Amino acid sequence: MELSKCSLDMLRTLGLKSVEELFSDIPEDVRTGGLKLPDGMSELELRRELGAILSSNKTATSHPNFLGAGVYNHFIPAAVKSIVGRSEFLTSYTPYQPEISQGMLQSLFEYQSFMTELTAVDVVNCSMYDASTALGEAVLMANRISGGSRFLVSRAVSPEKKAVARTYAKGADIKIAEVKFEPETGLVDLEDLKQKTVDGVCGFYFETPNFFGPIETKWDEIRQVLGERTMVVGTNPMSLALLRPPGEMGADIVVGDAQVFGTPMSLGGPTIGVFGCKSEHVRKMPGRLIGMTSDLDGERAYCMTLQTREQHIRRSKATSNICTNEALLALAAAAYLAVVGRNGLRTIAAKNVENMTALSSRIAKIKGYRSPRFKAAHFNEFVVESELSSGKIHKELLNKGIQGGYVLDQDFQDLKNSTLYATTEMHTRADHDKLVSALEELT
Amino acid sequence: MRYHQAVHDVPTLFENCEKPVPEKGFDPTIGGALPKELLRAELNIPDLPERDVVKHFVNLSQMNFGVDNGLYPLGSCTMKYNPKICDEVVSWDSVANIHPLQDTSTIQGALRIMYELERMLCEIGGVDSVTLQPAAGAHGEYTGMQMVRAYHELRGEVRNEIVLPDTAHGTNPASAAMVGYDVLELPSKEGCVDVEALKAAVSRDTAAFMLTNPNTLGLFEKDVKEIAGILHDAGALLYYDGANLNAIMGKTSPGRMDFDIVHFNLHKTFATPHGGGGPGAGPVGVKKKLEEFLPIPRIVHHSSQYGLDSNRPNSIGKVRAFFGNFAVLVRAYAYIKMQGGNGLESVSENAVLNSNYLKHNLKGTFELPYDDLRKHEFVLSGRPLKSKGLRTMDFAKRLLDYGFHAPTVYFPLIVEEAIMIEPTETESKDTLDRFIEACKTIANEDPELLHNAPHNTARRRLDEAKAARDMVFSWRAYEKKRADRSAAKA
């Protein structure tokens, strides 16, 4: 390494002749002698090379994309991007010194406040990694609350989330069993739930809207079947602009993903796990919490609190190992909700429902398609069943420059020839036209 | 040295004087698509002009300190400067607007970036394969522990214990416990692993040993080969916590030190911004013998096409939906590409030089336990402050008044009144000299000044106990508390 004058000065201060002497404590038998990586490049060269590699990606901007299944394409106002890009926020660490970090702390408190309003549970933490890991943690927390070693998950949950839940459950030796959905409505099959809610079951996870789009209606019955067991509800927080919130319906824990509020899809990451619960469970909760307090002068102030639940204090007895979370995305969600506001949010949510209804009914009119496959109210996602194989439809759409929905057959054998479509406010009438005429041409 | 943080009166977004007016003529059933009984009755979130929202957050940002504001020497957190180009590229359409479930033929560029990043991390870590799925360092540890468990289970062995030194990051024991392991913390000797104690502790029940090298005191564990031998002879695995990787790039690697599993903190070593707590990314690398346990899907490359392979029967499954924190991965890819192999080695050299320079200049002001060469960070003891009735926290708070973020304090636990300093390679000698000067000045200041510090930040010392007592986590909770209080008065 060629040394700058300052570096040479520093070495001299240390009484050393070369930088290599600073590494004299690394024994020879573990030395590697440099990295076999290409030489560095300038910013301009990087832009060229990276731009060229990434240009082969087909984006939702240039190719109509009807995928959802947990990650959604929503509009992000310029003001949100501007706020999230403030480098005082972007380049700060976890606010361990609250006096100098009030900006991020208050923003996170506001995120918690927004999510508390939307979900109507008592407490929402300031983020988990994503919805799937939030579910994984909820399984562990249900076990801490209700103390059984079995956990039930609705079948109408994405395979990705179920896979993550299984991984987390395995670590705690919790067995996961699935609860059927009603073939007609896609909603929780109460009879199956009753049958499977046996001794040792600590909780049940279901979603509204669920993976297939239907909005759950049988809250009271589910709550009743579960009794003292932990009710864990997954939701798309944007739908809560219009729908009854899980906290009002007796949920003990609410999970979801707030990517829908101001974070781009970015191939599914980062997104932001929402995690909320009733206040009686707060000490069993994973993740950071921001609380309001005051300073020496009596001024209102914010800081991280109830940290005795966390790994840096409690180590192996912590409620979770989580440390780094998705704070910047919580800021994005708070900024998004503030920018669009109450009525703006409801209008956006309404547009999603309108687009879903419009697209589904247009597809239903095409011969050979049944849409929506499930008889229920939907938010912005729905299942289409067809006479053709969904794999074939997917390929044909792709040939026409359209990314169709998520093919369900691979994970749900009873949903033959079925595809999950999502549509948001980002789709124009022309996008719908393109999909509908492509589907028409297929039959 | 002058510093004063901005102070603004910023009420919460929920305190604007006007309550939101429900929209006129809005049909919440959306033309009957949603049944009335499924609709919510109220939604108490504000409606504010964009102008006010931007003012709100810009003023809040001015009451927040980031690396871009100044030195942020949090030990073990590697708060280095983050090149701006890395943020710009993730805002590109080709990164931001792709969906994880797209047909792989339409995300070839993204898959290639991830595939190549895996290969680059293999070289840096001295491992054979890498997964990018974990979303953070602790999540990487968790993934590693799941693989430890899967490895032993496949061999038909029941091993219940993870051993780690008492200097380990708190996430290590927490991650091990989440995978169902008992945790044995081993007392250190002279700041390093006590090899004899390790020998005595390791048994047929030991599943793995977790270690970061250099350790959290900034000391290089010279006996690492012997340590690895002890574990491997007992049939156990060796796990590398990559939080301190910034010290050794190009000099040695976890793989070369015989670690079997290693996680990388992209938001530390590879300069992706930490965003006030996240997002990060915690890729995990493994030696060949553990490859079959990596999370699915694996990114594969055949006949110039990138694809996904989930047919891995011994995989631990998934630890997160989709591919991990892609936008963070792209930033790290850009950073590594710009640095190149030699650049990364220089990163470590400068990080270690800066750290030793600070240590050399501050050891007279504070106590330096285990005086020795340090790597990228070092730990002082604030014990000398005690004679003036002060504690390390008082010193840390007073540093804020000089425009420096405080170091990590009270960690590692084995150093009394610990002050853990990591300057990183991106700070100039000029900045380091000013930091040294501030530390020395503070050490001689009137104890009262420290006791009541900070004075120049947006808020004075917080009553953190009150936050835990009151448990006000939202505006709703605040209003409820206020209503309860006035009801009690009445």
Residue B33: its H or E element = none
**Inter-residue long-range contacts of B407-411, CB under 8 Å, 24+ positions, other chains counted:** B407/B73, B407/B74, B407/B75, B408/A96, B408/B74, B408/B75, B408/B76, B408/B77, B409/B382, B411/A312, B411/B75, B411/B76, B411/B216
Q: Tell if the CB–CB gap between B350 and A7 is shorter than 8 Å.
A: yes
Distance of alpha carbon A395 from alpha carbon A381, whole angstroms: 21
> Could you read off the pLDDT of A287-326 as tens digits, one per residue?
999 999 999 999 999 999 999 888 888 888 889 999 999 9
Task: Count up the domains in chain B and report the number.
Answer: 3
Q: Tell if the CB–CB gap between B463 and A293 is shorter than 8 Å.
A: yes
Residue A123: its H or E element = strand A123-124
Say if residue B194 is exposed, middle or buried (CB neighbours under 10 Å; 0-12, 13-18, 19+).
middle
Any domain includes B141: yes
Distance of alpha carbon B360 from alpha carbon A306, whole angstroms: 37
Last residue of a domain, one of B317, B339, B361: B339
Shared-domain flag, residues B188 and B230: yes
Say if residue B360 is exposed, middle or buried (CB neighbours under 10 Å; 0-12, 13-18, 19+).
middle
Any domain includes B197: yes
**Is the Cβ of B345 closer than 8 Å to some Cβ of chain A?**
yes
Please answer whether residues B325 and A326 qualify as being in contact, where contact means their C-beta atoms are separated by less than 8 angstroms. Answer: no
Q: Tell if the CB–CB gap between A338 and B48 is shorter than 8 Å.
A: yes
Shared-domain flag, residues B45 and B100: no
Residue B396: its pLDDT value, please? 98
Q: Tell if the CB–CB gap between B460 and A299 is shorter than 8 Å.
A: yes
CATH architecture designation of domain A78-335 = 3-Layer(aba) Sandwich (3.40)
Nearest by CB: A269 against B50, B135, B405: B135
Q: Tell if the CB–CB gap between A116 and B476 is shorter than 8 Å.
A: yes
Task: Tell me the residue range of the domain where B23 lies.
Answer: 13-56
**Is the Cβ of B461 closer than 8 Å to some Cβ of chain A?**
yes
Shared-domain flag, residues B183 and B307: yes
CA atoms within 13 A on the CB side of B204: 3
| One-letter amino acid of B483 | A
**Those residues with Cβ within 8 angstroms of residue A345's Cβ, 6 or more apart along the chain or in another chain:** A238, A241, A337, B43, B45
- Which residues of chain A does B13 touch, with a Cβ-Cβ cutoff of 8 Å? 110, 113, 334, 338
Least-confidence region, from A202-211, A256-265, B12-21:
B12-21
**Those residues with Cβ within 8 angstroms of residue B251's Cβ, 6 or more apart along the chain or in another chain:** A23, A26, A31, A32, B345, B348
Any domain includes B39: yes
Question: Can you tell me the mean pLDDT for B93-121?
Answer: 98
Any domain includes B254: yes
| One-letter amino acid of B229 | G
Any domain includes B482: yes
Shared-domain flag, residues B248 and B168: yes
Give which of A2, A20, A32, A121 to mutate to test B binding, by max B Cβ within 10 Å: A32
pLDDT over threshold 70, residue A241: yes
Question: Can you tell me the mean pLDDT for A200-220?
Answer: 97
Residues making up chain A, counted from first to last: 443
- Which residues of chain B does A293 touch, with a Cβ-Cβ cutoff of 8 Å? 462-464, 466-467, 470, 472
B residues 295-314 closer than 8 Å to A (CB): none
Any domain includes B484: yes
> Could you read off the pLDDT of A177-192 as tens digits, one per residue?
999 999 999 999 999 9
The nearest CA of chain A is from the CA of B351 a distance in Å of 11
DSSP 3-state of A54: helix
CA A411 to chain centre: 20
**Is the Cβ of B357 closer than 8 Å to some Cβ of chain A?**
yes
Looking at every residue in chain B, the average pLDDT score rounds to: 96
Give which of B473, B480, B485 to mutate to test A binding, by max A Cβ within 10 Å: B473
Shared-domain flag, residues B226 and B275: yes
Q: Tell if the CB–CB gap between B475 and A329 is shorter than 8 Å.
A: no
Nearest by CB: B174 against A67, A103, A311: A311
Shared-domain flag, residues B29 and B118: no
Adjacent-strand bridge partners of B305? B302
Distance of alpha carbon B471 from alpha carbon A283, whole angstroms: 11
Q: CA angle, B317 as apex, A150 and A403 as ends, to 5°?
A: 115
DSSP of B376-413: S-EEEE-GGGGGGT--HHHHHHHHHTTT----EES-ST
Q: What is the largest CA-CA distance in chain B?
A: 78
Distance of alpha carbon B94 from alpha carbon B400, whole angstroms: 40
Shared-domain flag, residues B91 and B49: no
Please answer whether residues A253 and A142 qualify as being in contact, where contact means their C-beta atoms are separated by less than 8 angstroms. Answer: yes
Tell me whether the omega of the peptide bond preceding residue B35 falls within 30 degrees of 0, making it cis.
no
Look up tokens 């919460």; give the residue: B12
DSSP 3-state of B345: helix
Integer CA distances (angstroms), B366 to B294, B374, B398, B418, B447, in order: 45, 16, 15, 10, 15
pLDDT over threshold 70, residue B17: no
Residue B22: its pLDDT value, please? 78
> Could you read off the pLDDT of B163-183 as tens digits, one per residue?
999 999 999 999 999 999 999
Q: CA angle, B277 as apex, B274 and B279 as ends, to 5°?
A: 60
Any domain includes B92: yes
Q: Tell if the CB–CB gap between B276 and A36 is shorter than 8 Å.
A: no
Distance of alpha carbon A405 from alpha carbon A211, whole angstroms: 13
Look up tokens 């609860």; give the residue: A179
Q: What is the largest CA-CA distance in chain A?
A: 84
Please answer whether residues B244 and B377 qualify as being in contact, where contact means their C-beta atoms are separated by less than 8 angstroms. Answer: yes
Distance of alpha carbon A70 from alpha carbon A74, whole angstroms: 12
Distance of alpha carbon B325 from alpha carbon B322, whole angstroms: 9
pTM over 0.95: yes
DSSP character for B209?
A: E
Distance of alpha carbon A441 from alpha carbon B14, whole angstroms: 52
The nearest CA of chain B is from the CA of A313 a distance in Å of 7
Residue A308: its pLDDT value, please? 85
> Could you read off the pLDDT of A377-427 as tens digits, one per residue?
999 999 999 999 999 999 999 999 999 999 999 899 999 999 999 999 999
Shared-domain flag, residues B51 and B89: no
pLDDT over threshold 90, residue A201: yes
What is the 3-class SS of A364-407, one letter each residue? HHCCCEECCCCCCCECCEEEEEECCCHHHHHHHHHHCCCECCEE
Shared-domain flag, residues B193 and B250: yes
Shared-domain flag, residues B124 and B44: no
Please answer whether residues A68 and A422 qualify as being in contact, where contact means their C-beta atoms are separated by less than 8 angstroms. Answer: yes
Any domain includes B387: no
Nearest by CB: B400 against A19, A59, A100: A100
Q: Per-domain residue ranges for chain A? A: 78-335, 341-442
Shared-domain flag, residues B206 and B249: yes
**Nearest alpha carbon to residue A435 among A403, A407, A406, A408:** A403
User: Where residue A1 falls among pLDDT bands split at 50, 70, 90?
Assistant: low
**Nearest alpha carbon to residue A117 among B16, B18, B474:** B474
Residue A80: its pLDDT value, please? 98
Residue A310: its pLDDT value, please? 87
Shared-domain flag, residues B310 and B172: yes
**Is the Cβ of B247 closer than 8 Å to some Cβ of chain A?**
no
Q: For the domain A341-442, what is the CATH superfamily, name and number? A: Aspartate Aminotransferase, domain 1 (3.90.1150.10)
E strand map for A180-282: 201-207, 230-235, 253-257, 273-277
Tell me whether the omega of the peptide bond preceding residue A64 falls within 30 degrees of 0, making it cis.
no
Cα dihedral A217, A222, A228, A233 sign: negative
DSSP 3-state of B64: coil
Residues making up chain B, counted from first to last: 490
Cβ neighbours, 10 Å, residue B25? 4
> Could you read off the pLDDT of A337-366 as tens digits, one per residue?
999 999 999 999 999 999 999 999 999 999
CA-nearest residue to B90 within chain A is A266
pLDDT over threshold 90, residue A443: no
Distance of alpha carbon A18 from alpha carbon A35, whole angstroms: 20
Query: And the tokens for A255?
Result: 């999970």
Backbone φ and ψ for B367, nearest 5 degrees, come out as: -95, 140
Query: And the tokens for A339?
Result: 């920018």
> Could you read off the pLDDT of B263-272 as tens digits, one per residue?
999 999 999 9
Residue B21: its pLDDT value, please? 78
Please answer whether residues B5 and A102 qualify as being in contact, where contact means their C-beta atoms are separated by less than 8 angstroms. Answer: no
Proportion of chain A above pLDDT 90, given as a percent:
96
Last residue of a domain, one of B305, B339, B373: B339
Distance of alpha carbon A93 from alpha carbon B72, whole angstroms: 9
Strand order in the sheet with B182-186: B129-131, B284-286, B261-263, B237-240, B206-211, B161-165, B182-186
pLDDT over threshold 90, residue B385: yes
